[in-house]
């Protein structure tokens, strides 16, 4: 622009109504010649107040300084300049403005005036200020966050790395910003992250991952990463933010907890849970390679006694030593665990030769037998081992463990300090036992019990003077079951009370029938300790006598020594009232129990039944012979009768007779017989 035309109406209208402040300043004295209303308004003046004023003095000292500096450094050839600055309003307040200055020259090219276009930019500045504040707040969050925060652009280049990120990478942000992880990352895990990065870009959804990583200065760390897409206002992904947290410590604790949950605290060996998990792998391997796996269930013999007598700390030491001895014997790829208490489980994979396995087992047994140098006495211990093989004896952890356990019990039964290989038969025995226990409940109502009678012979009279009633169970499936195979169950579950009552009534009724036929014999019935404790024995006996109508002196109850020893006062009362009924009492299996003679008198016992274990060996074993002789002598001195059971041959009979025993019972005469068979035997015996 060179000169200004005289004020045309249109131009004046534009000048007066422009939103931009316009001022013309005289270049010679730097005073304002012309200002429009907007210019005056921006500065809080009326236009006339500014005419003649110097802008540098009134509202733009900084602005004027800039102008001077500009003009001194650039030649006058530069005609335009624009900048932002702050002006002072009339009331002293500040207003941010954008300034655009144009020079006006005369026809000689001399600057006569300057024109300034001024805009109030406070609104924009406020927004900028607000934005800056917000940005500063978020930046501060990111800069001070304990998390690693990295922002990538859509090409995967890092555009921001916070100080935690610098710490993790071990370098300054400047060194890595602008590069993608693939161009090199101090953390290899960041390269793997690119795959996730692309997924986030493709799906627009955030992802969370936990990953292990190698720390630049060594060691392994664990991180939890959240990878989040960031969108512009149009919903387009513009960047990807990753927030990573160092969870190494949490992982260490988790690992510790997992170790505790899967290991036995005392020995440090894997526990049942872990070994069960491992077994799946072992079985899968054995399946694919066609080899066997062996489950060894190991139980220490007599460990409880060590614990009880020497204390738990000695017990714990023993277990630790056993654990390390087992560890020494196995190969690195075998599995060992403590199942609890004094039970250990070893699993050998890759078993191809059973004989090799058994020689390892024998070595194991020998090693366990080594002295335990714990206390001043050197302890010794043995173990019983049950072995079950995959796949023959089970295909799952539970079945193999159970069968190895069953085999271990067999090893214990066979005298301990040994091993036993599982057989199907053991399983059937166990199953059978379980089934028997169940069947026993209905055996009375199903009439499955019978009583057999074994004659008792008076040696002086050479006559049958009594019988012992012995129960048998005619099982519909298994045939005859002997009392030793079901009486212990019946005692443990209390069914013996009913069974015992049934035997008493049956035996008394049978005796009554015989008495009616002129067979005047006593019937001896075995009574269990449980009947004494739980049943109303006196009433039961009375009822049996009433039903049968026999003379009480023909009923004899066989008690064991243990009955009389325990809870003597109560027993004494019951025994006395039984005696008052007029029945007889004998002590069964005499010599095997406590053999305390004092109770014999107190309980008014009539007869001692010398246990067959002494009788059987009387010819071979001097000691047994002496015991039998002594029992007979003592009985005589106490005015008690004696009967020897288990007389199997004539030579024993002769010796027993020579010792002065009153009666005998045994296979030499006959096995226990059914009632009708006994009648025949009785008839023949008398002849
Ligand atoms: P126990 O009372 O000592 O009975 C003697 C056992 O020895 C009987 O076995 C009998 O058959 C057997 N025996 C008899 N003579 C000889 C012999 O010469 N040689 C050999 N080796 N054995 C002989 P059983 O009938 O098997 O009875 C076993 C045990 O079952 C009985 O031992 C008794 O304790 C118990 N029992 C039997 N019936 C009953 C019952 O009704 N109630 C109770 N509570 N227990 C019973
Ligand atoms: Mg008996
Ligand atoms: Mg006996």
Please tell me if the CB atom of residue 588 comes closer than 6 angstroms to any atom of ligand 1.
yes
Average pLDDT over residues 485-499: 87
Q: Domain boundary at 92, 120, 148, which?
A: 120
Query: Would you state the pLDDT for residue 581?
Result: 94
Query: Would you state the pLDDT for residue 207?
Result: 94
Asked if residue 567 has pLDDT above 70, the reply is: no
Segments in 448-536 forming alpha helices (H): 487-493, 496-516, 529-534
Q: Are residues 217 and 272 in the same domain?
A: no
What's the CATH number where 236 sits? 3.30.450.20
Name the residue with the closest Cα to ligand 1, atom 34: 526
Q: Which domain holds residue 95?
A: 7-120
Ligand number, closest to the Cα atom of 532 = 1
The span from the CA of 188 to the CA of 135, in Å, is: 31
**C-alpha closest to that of 241 among 203, 198, 179, 197:** 197
**C-alpha closest to that of 356 among 331, 376, 381:** 331
**Residue 527 CA, closest ligand 1 atom number:** 44
Query: Would you state the pLDDT for residue 506?
Result: 97
257 lies in some domain: no
Please tell me if the CB atom of residue 246 comes closer than 6 angstroms to any atom of ligand 1.
no
621 lies in some domain: yes
How many structural domains is the chain composed of? 4
CB 323 within 8 A of CB 338: yes
Ligand number, closest to the Cα atom of 470 = 1
Provide DSSP, 524-579.
EEE--HHHHHHS-HHHHHHHHHHHH---GGGEEEEEEHHHHHTTHHHHHHHHHHHH
Out of 525, 526, 535, 647, mutate this one to test ligand 1's pocket (max ligand atoms within 8 Å of CB): namely: 526
The span from the CA of 571 to the CA of 533, in Å, is: 8
Provide DSSP, 194-252.
HHHHHHHHHH---EEEEEEEE-TTSSEEEEEEEEEEEE-TTS-EEEEEEEEEE-HHHHH
Name the residue with the closest Cα to ligand 1, atom 10: 672
251 lies in some domain: no
477 lies in some domain: no
Q: What is the dihedral of CA 343, 348, 353, 359, to 10 degrees?
A: -40
Name the residue with the closest Cα to ligand 1, atom 35: 483
**Whole-number CA gyration radius for the chain:** 54
Q: Domain boundary at 93, 120, 147, which?
A: 120
| DSSP character at residue 611 | -
The span from the CA of 72 to the CA of 70, in Å, is: 6
256 lies in some domain: no
Q: Are residues 89 and 189 in the same domain?
A: no
Asked if residue 434 has pLDDT above 70, the reply is: no
What's the CATH number where 628 sits? 3.20.20.450
The 10s digit of each residue's pLDDT in 534-543 is 768 999 999 9
Ligand number, closest to the Cα atom of 529 = 1
**C-alpha closest to that of 282 among 400, 421, 422, 362:** 400
Q: Are residues 457 and 584 in the same domain?
A: yes
CB 111 within 8 A of CB 28: no
**C-alpha closest to that of 400 among 273, 297, 285:** 297
292 lies in some domain: yes
Query: Would you state the pLDDT for residue 2?
Result: 45
Please tell me if the CB atom of residue 556 comes closer than 6 angstroms to any atom of ligand 1.
no
Query: Would you state the pLDDT for residue 568?
Result: 67
435 lies in some domain: no
The structure tokens 């602008």 sit at 178
Average pLDDT over residues 196-202: 92
Q: Distance, CA 469 to ligand 2 centroid (Å)?
A: 8
Q: Distance, CA 459 to ligand 2 centroid (Å)?
A: 19
- Distances in Å between the alpha carbon of 641 and those of 585, 604, 631? 11, 12, 10
Side-chain half-sphere CA neighbours of 363 within 13 A = 12
Beta bridge partners of 645: 665
* Token pair belonging to 498: 């009913």
Q: Distance, CA 470 to ligand 1 centroid (Å)?
A: 6
CA–CA–CA angle 84, 87, 91 (5° rounding): 155
**C-alpha closest to that of 449 among 460, 457, 441:** 441
The 10s digit of each residue's pLDDT in 586-630 is 999 888 766 567 777 778 899 999 999 899 889 988 988 998 999
Beta bridge partners of 347: 295, 335
**Residue 503 CA, closest ligand 1 atom number:** 41
Q: Are residues 215 and 332 in the same domain?
A: no
* Token pair belonging to 265: 């605290």
pLDDT tier for residue 36 given thresholds of 50, 70 and 90: very high
Please tell me if the CB atom of residue 117 comes closer than 6 angstroms to any atom of ligand 1.
no
Q: Distance, CA 434 to ligand 1 centroid (Å)?
A: 23
**Residue 496 CA, closest ligand 1 atom number:** 44
**C-alpha closest to that of 101 among 118, 87, 115, 86:** 115
**Residue 483 CA, closest ligand 1 atom number:** 30
Q: Are residues 330 and 295 in the same domain?
A: yes
User: What is the helix (H) or strand (E) element at residue 636, kind and residue range?
Assistant: helix 622-637
The 10s digit of each residue's pLDDT in 143-155 is 999 999 999 999 9
Please confirm whether the linkage preceding 199 is cis (ω < 30° from 0).
no
Of all residues in the chain, what percent carry a pLDDT higher than 90?
57
Query: Would you state the pLDDT for residue 65?
Result: 81
Please tell me if the CB atom of residue 608 comes closer than 6 angstroms to any atom of ligand 1.
no
Asked if residue 494 has pLDDT above 60, the reply is: yes
Query: Would you state the pLDDT for residue 75?
Result: 55
Average pLDDT over residues 490-515: 94
125 lies in some domain: no
What's the CATH number where 293 sits? 3.30.70.270
The span from the CA of 13 to the CA of 132, in Å, is: 39
Q: Are residues 275 and 192 in the same domain?
A: no
Please tell me if the CB atom of residue 487 comes closer than 6 angstroms to any atom of ligand 1.
yes
Name the residue with the closest Cα to ligand 1, atom 8: 470
pLDDT tier for residue 379 given thresholds of 50, 70 and 90: confident
The 10s digit of each residue's pLDDT in 53-106 is 999 888 888 878 877 777 777 655 456 889 999 999 999 999 999 999 998 888
What's the whole-number average pLDDT of the chain? 89
Out of 443, 455, 470, 490, mutate this one to test ligand 1's pocket (max ligand atoms within 8 Å of CB): namely: 470
Query: Would you state the pLDDT for residue 77?
Result: 45
* Token pair belonging to 114: 């300057």
Q: Are residues 214 and 308 in the same domain?
A: no
Instruction: For 355-478, list the strands marked E by DSSP.
Output: 382-390, 418-421, 449-458, 463-475
| 3-class SS shares of the chain: helix, strand, coil, % to 5 | 45, 25, 25
Q: Are residues 415 and 504 in the same domain?
A: no
Average pLDDT over residues 195-201: 91
Asked if residue 329 has pLDDT above 70, the reply is: yes
Of all residues in the chain, what percent carry a pLDDT higher than 70?
94
The 10s digit of each residue's pLDDT in 277-286 is 899 999 999 9
Query: Would you state the pLDDT for residue 1?
Result: 47
Query: Would you state the pLDDT for residue 448?
Result: 95
Q: Are residues 423 and 322 in the same domain?
A: yes
Q: Are residues 533 and 681 in the same domain?
A: yes
User: What is the helix (H) or strand (E) element at residue 138, kind and residue range?
Assistant: helix 122-144
Ligand number, closest to the Cα atom of 672 = 1
Q: Are residues 112 and 145 in the same domain?
A: no
Name the residue with the closest Cα to ligand 1, atom 33: 526
Query: Would you state the pLDDT for residue 367?
Result: 92
Q: Are residues 114 and 19 in the same domain?
A: yes
């Amino acid at each position: 622009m060179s000169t200004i035309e005289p004020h045309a109406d249109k131009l004046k209208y534009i000048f007066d109504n422009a939103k931009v402040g316009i001022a013309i300043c005289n270049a010679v004295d730097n005073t304002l010649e012309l200002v429009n209303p907007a210019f005056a308004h921006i500065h809080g003046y009326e236009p006339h107040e500014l005419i003649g004023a110097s802008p540098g003095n009134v509202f733009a000292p900084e602005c004027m300084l800039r102008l001077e500096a500009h003009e001194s450094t650039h030649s006058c050839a530069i005609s335009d300049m624009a900048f932002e600055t702050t002006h002072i309003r009339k009331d002293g307040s500040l207003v941010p403005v954008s300034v655009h200055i144009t020079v006006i020259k005369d026809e000689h090219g001399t600057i006569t005036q300057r024109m300034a276009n001024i805009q109030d930019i406070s609104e924009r500045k406020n927004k900028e200020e607000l934005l800056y504040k917000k940005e500063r707040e978020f930046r501060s969050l990111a800069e001070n966050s304990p998390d690693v925060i990295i922002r990538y652009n859509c090409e995967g280049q890092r555009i921001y790395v916070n100080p935690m990120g610098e710490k993790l990478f071990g370098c300054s942000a400047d060194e890595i910003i602008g590069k993608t992880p693939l161009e090199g990352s101090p953390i290899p895990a960041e390269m793997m992250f690119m795959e996730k990065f692309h997924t986030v870009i493709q799906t627009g959804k955030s992802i969370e991952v936990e990953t292990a990583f190698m720390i630049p200065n060594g060691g392994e760390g664990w991180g939890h990463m959240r990878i989040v897409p960031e969108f512009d206002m149009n919903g387009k992904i513009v960047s990807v933010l990753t927030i990573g947290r160092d969870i190494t410590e949490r992982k260490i604790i988790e690992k510790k907890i997992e170790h505790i949950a899967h290991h036995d605290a005392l020995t440090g060996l894997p526990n049942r849970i872990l070994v069960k998990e491992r077994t799946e792998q072992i079985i899968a391997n054995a399946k694919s390679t066609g080899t066997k796996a062996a489950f060894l269930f190991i139980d220490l013999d007599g460990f409880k006694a060590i614990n009880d007598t020497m204390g738990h700390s000695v017990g714990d030491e023993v277990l630790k030593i056993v654990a390390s001895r087992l560890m020494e014997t196995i190969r690195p790829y075998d599995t060992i665990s403590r199942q609890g208490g004094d039970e250990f489980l070893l699993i050998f994979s890759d078993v191809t030769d059973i004989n090799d396995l058994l020689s390892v087992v024998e070595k194991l047994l020998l090693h366990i037998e080594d002295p335990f140098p714990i206390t001043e006495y050197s302890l010794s211990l043995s173990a019983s081992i049950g072995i079950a093989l995959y796949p023959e004896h089970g295909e799952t952890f539970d079945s193999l463990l159970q069968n190895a356990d069953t085999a271990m019990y067999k090893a214990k039964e066979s005298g301990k300090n040994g091993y036993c290989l599982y057989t199907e038969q053991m399983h059937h025995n166990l199953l059978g036992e379980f089934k028997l226990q169940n069947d026993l409940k209905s055996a009375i109502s199903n009439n499955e019990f019978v009583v057999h009678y074994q004659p008792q012979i008076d040696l002086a009279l050479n006559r049958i003077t009594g019988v012992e009633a012995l129960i048998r169970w005619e099982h519909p499936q298994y045939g005859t079951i002997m009392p030793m195979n079901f009486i212990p169950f019946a005692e443990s579950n209390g069914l013996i009370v009913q069974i015992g009552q049934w035997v008493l009534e049956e035996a008394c009724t049978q005796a009554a029938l015989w008495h009616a036929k002129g067979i005047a014999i006593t019937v001896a019935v075995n009574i269990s300790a449980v009947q004494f404790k739980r049943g109303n024995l006196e009433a039961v006996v009375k009822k049996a006598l009433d039903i049968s109508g026999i003379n009480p002196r023909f009923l004899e109850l066989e008690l064991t020594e243990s009955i009389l020893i325990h809870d003597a006062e109560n027993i004494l009362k019951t025994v006395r009232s039984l005696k008052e009924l007029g029945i007889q009492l004998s002590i069964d299996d005499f010599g095997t129990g406590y053999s305390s003679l004092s109770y014999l008198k107190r309980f008014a016992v009539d007869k001692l039944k010398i246990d067959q274990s002494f009788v059987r060996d009387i010819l071979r074993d001097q000691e047994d012979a002496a015991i039998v002789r002594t029992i007979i002598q003592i009985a005589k001195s106490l005015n008690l009768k004696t009967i020897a059971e288990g007389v199997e041959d004539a030579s024993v009979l002769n010796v027993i007779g020579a010792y002065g025993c009153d009666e005998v019972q045994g296979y030499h005469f006959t096995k226990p017989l059914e009632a009708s068979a006994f009648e025949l035997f009785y008839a023949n015996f008398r002849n």
